[in-house]
Structure 1
Amino acid sequence: MSRLEAKKPSICRSEPLTGERTRASLAALRGLVTSCYGPAGRLKQLHNGRGGSVVTTSQSAALLAGLPVSHPVLKVLTAAVRNHVACFSDGGLFTAILCCNLVENVQRLGLTPTTVIKLNKHLLSLCTSYLKSEVCACRIPVDFSSTQILLSLVRSILTSKPACMLIAKEVDHISTLILRAFLLTIPENAQEHIILGKSIIVPLKGQRVIDSAVLPGILIEVSEVQLMKILPIKKSDSFKVALFGVSLSGDLSDTGEGTLLVSYGVSLENAALDQLFNLGKQLVSDHVDLVLCQKVIHPSLKQFLRTHHVIAVDRIGVSLMEPLSKVTGAWPIGSLGSISPSSYGSIKDLCIAKFGCKHFFHLIPNKTTICSLLLCNRNDTAWDELKLTCQTALHALQLTIKDPYVLLGGGCTETHLVAYIRHKTHNEPESVLQDERCSQTELQLITDAFCSALESLAGSLEHDGGEILTDSKYGHFWSVQANLPSAVNWPDLLSRCGCGLYSSQEELSWSFLRSVRHPFPPQTCLSCEATGSASTLTLDCFTAK
């Protein structure tokens, strides 16, 4: 998408939201995010105009990160979406589309901002209260004794990101791996307050997706040359580990600020090497088997350790320091002085693993909640998108521990809420009018604008010109191809609703989305059928939505 205008610095300005410039900017953002929404969403290619890589994505996190905006209203909206994604990982496009639709709809009403805000807050509280209630018909409790619902949730997240370029078999494989990785992060003896572990995603680009795997512990990539110098690795009992966060290169870059006084005739290089060798002697005398360094280890120290059968691995990076500390139980050592015995840790075993053309040290822990998800995909672009999607899915699974529910996806929750709100405000307007001190007309206008925003959000799932219908019993979302004949028998054309829960073979009646009809009460209290067919459902993260 080309820039509508050159980027300008932020300025403070007082003008109504109904201005033409504001409307055009909102429409442009809405069109962008709407076109990316859902499994059939269109991909966007982002380039900064000054060189660098091209990002192909349909995810809000990547989309907004590469999309600078200058209009103040858009800055507020995109900041809100980024904050939502930072908290929940999922639902960024959902939030952006709903916000744009709401703002555009209320612009046309001509009501005071106070009235608009007050009534929209009330309708929003109606939605959230209903979704949290026991009678909610679009909420399914998560049964942790079964994997069906959790797998359906992960599968729904994966299939909603077309840039991952996964076929059905690959979606099933990655879904299983993500769920397995999530389960490995849960402590075996979990109490009331659970502290989850971490899943580390290890890249392996250019390989088949089906070659992806989950391993307990940590994988550290090493070169083949480095591996040949270390082999063979044989030990009957556990490995004693020292973890260094300070450089062992022997340079003076880590001495900090200040003046360094050096006596005449003293060689700084030799003094640094002597200190490193003294450190190495202590490691050997303490029977350390494995030295891991975040930064660089001096070649002479490496050779010294190797001759004493100590394995030394450097340049592991800051991102692995915390997981390594948890896996080994070692405290990161931050100086070259004497080492406290309590700083050491241990691992159950150390072995060599080869995946594709890469070699790894596999640190197998005694007992831990850290695992490695070795993630493969065909190319860099597809891998980057898959990594982001896997992180989203893992976070969604973690959120189910706090709120053990999922919502029906495929647009069904949105259309069901529309039916619920319209019926509620039509049949019980007195409580709203009394609490919010507004007129019946104002309530009706805001209700129509709010429900229209939800309907437009559900309609954003259709990108090929098809028609969208809702049934008058459950209020669910149904999609059908475009250019229908004038006389049509809906059960012959429809299969299942958007979430997959209900079949068209039931005795249902349908009408087009946004068509005028009398408000009806959608059926509440989800039947036990939902749990039985959970493996085929399209689901959304409860907390994120």
Structure 2
Amino acid sequence: MYVCIALLGFRTYLRTASSVNAASRFSFLRNYVTPRALPFFFLCACSASADIMASLSMAPVNIFRHGADEEKAETARLSSFVGAIAIGDLVKSTLGPKGMDKILMGGGKGGTVTVTNDGATILKAIGVDNPAAKVLVDMSKVQDDEVGDGTTSVTVLAAELLREAELLIAKKIHPQTIIAGWRKATQVARDALREAAVDHSNDSARFQEDLLNIARTTLSSKLLTHHKDHFAELAVDAVMRLKGTGHLESIHIIKKLGGSLTDSYLDEGFLLDKKIGVNQPKRMENVKILIANTGMDTDKIKIFGSRVRVDSTAKVAEIELAEKEKMKEKVDRILKHGINCFINRQLIYNYPEQLFAQAGVMAIEHADFAGVERLALVTAGGEITSTFDHPEMVKLGHCKLIEEVMIGEDTLIHFSGVAMGEACTVVLRGATQQILDEAERSLHDALCVLAQTVKEPRTVYGGGCSEMLMAKVVTDLANRTPGKEAVAMESFAKALMTLPTTIADNAGYDSADLVAQLRAAHQENKTTCGLNMSAGTVGNMAELGVTESFQVKRQVLLSASEAAEMILRVDNIIKAAPRKRVPDHHPC
């Protein structure tokens, strides 16, 4: 009874305490709280005070500058998962030999239109704000730079790993437990991939066939799929000319509108998309080349850009004559190098062009920077110079023949017999600029993969064969592993099996049936079985020649698992406050 009286009295006291003075509060205690209930009253007061202090200590304290944003715990993790999975879903439909294309439109009135199914190109073009999505975009760029192919596969695999992780976290499995299981799964998957790899580098004929199969497999998912045999031979010939160096800079790709893709060809030399100067020799043998980046336009007074005070027009003629003399001296210094071909990055005006013609020197002006850099590389390491006072210190380029050639309606300059014998040019023909651009990207991917395969000659089978092989060994490990790590390993295997599932879905086949057949075949140790997308069946990849680079597959596995692990570790996202523009109180 006394406890009830104390609680009722304390409740009434709280209602009136904020509106009365100290004397009134004392009178309240004397009139309404009996002496025996007084201890219980003070006990309630102390308990309430402790609760009030605890609530004050639990109030959030903002330690960041105004405008900064913070996401914690589950909110941060969910934000990361959503962003990464969205990126994976964006490029998933482009995976496989029958994947779809994307149209990328630039902003503004003159926005460019790009039609592509290359994962790296798509992800480079989009702007993402989610930090986890940016991680996957950067990972795709690194994959493209390192091995040239597998950009879509690595993005889809990382996204599927995070999708599985989201389900595991919903089941109250700790992220560190998931990561521990993934690491063990990655190790056994890499070991299985290494054991399945074959190396035919000791047999030149079989290795050549492996390179052709790799090129065909790479081009199967590109625009060039209908002409993959033609372009596979073209790419292999170009890479074999490098003699194992891997210097893709020696392979020049020129795009010319007109004709069809089958009209594309490999030229054993170097093509520069420029014209030879007027009244100059159009063909020259045993050429010594000086490559320069210098101004050759001072033979005329630029009236609109200068101020000259003269008494008569004769003075203007004198100034112009002085400029010509200055230019003649410069041309003489260039000719002292003992050259018969001068290639300049900048313009060559009429007067110096006339002087070069009189000296029998071929002059080529306004050569594009990439072409000049590559030409300097392939012509025995010729240097790009801008001063000509010390001819003995300048290294010249050399080639056996320079001549003008016609490609379609365009005139180009052909350099043959260059000092670096591995140099060559691929001439691409096509109906539209978009087709040419996509053909260049596709061919570049094939060249990169082939160059990596020459350095690392091991190969594995494609068509989902390698992914199912890795998923099988990971599942076997999960069956032998006790505890929650086994669940994480099973999720890793599911993510690996998503790749052949997506390939079948994009081709319009029943992915559930095909993947089930493929899984059953691998359970029977038919380790060369994969998806035959031409017939919609499970086939022998060794007989079909569906071969991929071991380096590409290994990089996809490691990059995807590392990126997914890094995102899974995140439990806090802190966004900095936007920088405020300081008003300028002292304008010019």
Which TM-score band applies after superposition, normalised by the shorter structure? 0.7 to 0.9
**Alpha-carbon deviation of 1:271?**
5.2
Preserved contact between residue 186 and residue 196 of structure 1 (Cα < 8 Å): no
Distance 1:230 1:166 in 2: 44
2:347 corresponds in structure 1 to 296
2:357 partner SS? helix
1:348 partner SS? strand
Distance 1:48 1:285 in 2: 49
Preserved contact between residue 186 and residue 195 of structure 1 (Cα < 8 Å): no
Deviations 1:41-62 (A, max 9, x none): 1111122443402211111121
Preserved contact between residue 123 and residue 421 of structure 1 (Cα < 8 Å): yes
Q: TM-score of the superposition, structure 2-length normalised? A: 0.71
1:90 partner SS? coil
Normalized per residue, which structure has more helix? Answer: 2
Q: How many residues align?
A: 455
2:291 corresponds in structure 1 to 243
1:340 partner SS? helix
Structure 1 residues 387, 478: CA separation in 2 closer, same or farther (over 3 Å shift)? closer
Structure 1 residues 271, 538: CA separation in 2 closer, same or farther (over 3 Å shift)? farther
Q: Find 2:96's aligned residue among 13, 31, 38.
A: 38
2:168 partner SS? coil
2:551 corresponds in structure 1 to 543
Letter in 1 for 2:94: C
Letter in 2 for 1:245: N
Preserved contact between residue 10 and residue 72 of structure 1 (Cα < 8 Å): no
Distance 1:232 1:320 in 2: 19
Distance 1:465 1:70 in 2: 35
2:234 corresponds in structure 1 to 177
Equivalent residues in 2 for 1:136-147, closer than 5 Å: 136-137=195-196, 139-142=198-201, 145-146=204-205, 147=208
Distance 2:235 2:475 in 1: 39
Q: Find 1:158's aligned residue among 205, 219, 240.
A: 219
1:477 partner SS? strand
Residue 313 (str. 1) matches residue 355 (str. 2): no
Letter in 2 for 1:151: L
Deviations 1:494-522 (A, max 9, x none): 7552xx43xxxxxxxxxxxxxxxxxxxxx
1:335 corresponds in structure 2 to 387
2:71 partner SS? coil
Structure 1 residues 344, 272: CA separation in 2 closer, same or farther (over 3 Å shift)? farther
Preserved contact between residue 97 and residue 533 of structure 2 (Cα < 8 Å): no
**Alpha-carbon deviation of 1:307?**
1.7
Distance 2:278 2:319 in 1: 32
**Alpha-carbon deviation of 1:23?**
4.8
Equivalent residues in 2 for 1:35-434, closer than 5 Å: 35-51=93-109, 52-110=111-169, 111-132=173-194, 136-137=195-196, 139-142=198-201, 145-146=204-205, 147-161=208-222, 164=223, 166-167=225-226, 170-186=227-243, 198-223=250-275, 226=276, 229-235=279-285, 238-250=286-298, 273-329=324-380, 330-340=382-392, 342-368=394-420, 369-427=422-480, 429=481
Deviations 1:12-33 (A, max 9, x none): 5334268665554444322221
- C-alpha RMSD of the superposition: 3.0
Preserved contact between residue 144 and residue 150 of structure 2 (Cα < 8 Å): yes
Residue 451 (str. 1) matches residue 488 (str. 2): no
Distance 1:17 1:118 in 2: 23
Deviations 1:259-285 (A, max 9, x none): xxxxxx998865554333123223445
Identity of aligned residues (%): 19
Structure 1 residues 423, 124: CA separation in 2 closer, same or farther (over 3 Å shift)? same
Letter in 1 for 2:283: I
- Which structure's CA Rg is the greater one? 2
Q: Which runs of 5+ in 1 are unaligned?
A: 1-8, 253-264, 430-439, 482-492, 502-529
**Alpha-carbon deviation of 1:103?**
0.6
Letter in 1 for 2:343: L
Structure 1 residues 295, 177: CA separation in 2 closer, same or farther (over 3 Å shift)? same
Q: Which runs of 5+ in 2 are unaligned?
A: 1-66, 301-314, 554-588
Deviations 1:306-330 (A, max 9, x none): 1221110011121123322233232
2:551 partner SS? coil
Distance 2:218 2:477 in 1: 31
Distance 1:416 1:79 in 2: 28
Distance 1:273 1:144 in 2: 64
Distance 1:453 1:40 in 2: 21
Structure 1 residues 208, 196: CA separation in 2 closer, same or farther (over 3 Å shift)? closer
Q: TM-score of the superposition, structure 1-length normalised? A: 0.76
Letter in 2 for 1:389: S
Distance 1:359 1:84 in 2: 37
Structure 1 residues 403, 71: CA separation in 2 closer, same or farther (over 3 Å shift)? same
Distance 1:344 1:298 in 2: 23
Preserved contact between residue 185 and residue 197 of structure 1 (Cα < 8 Å): no
Deviations 1:191-225 (A, max 9, x none): xxx867621111112322222121222101234xx
Preserved contact between residue 36 and residue 58 of structure 1 (Cα < 8 Å): yes
